[in-house]
Amino acid sequence: MANKIERILGLYSKLINGGTVYKAEAATNYDVDERSIARDISDIRDYLDRSPRNRRGAFLLS
């Protein structure tokens, strides 16, 4: 079973590479409840909303 950080990074990686995350499929793959996947996606969204961006909207790594 992957820990939460590995799971979130896996989901994030899939999303930034143009993939689609299906809650049921991801929950099965990571052996967690669908609610955990929903919370993980929410955490990713919250993080991106707080991340600094340049004038063109690209995220900046600090």
Residue 60 reports pLDDT greater than 90: no
- Residues 13, 44: contact at Cβ < 8 Å? no
Q: Is residue 45 part of a domain?
A: yes
10-14: which pairs have CB atoms within 8 A and are 24 or more residues apart? 11/37, 11/40, 11/41, 11/44, 12/44
Q: Is residue 60 part of a domain?
A: no
User: Could you give the number of structural domains in the chain?
Assistant: 1
pLDDT, tens only, 3-55 = 999 999 999 999 989 999 999 999 999 999 999 999 999 999 998 888 877 77
- What is the span of the domain harbouring residue 18? 4-50
pTM equals 0.80
Q: Is residue 58 part of a domain?
A: no
**Which of 21, 19, 17, 18 lies closest to 43, judged by CA?**
21
- CA dist 57 → 15, 52, 53 (Å): 17, 9, 5
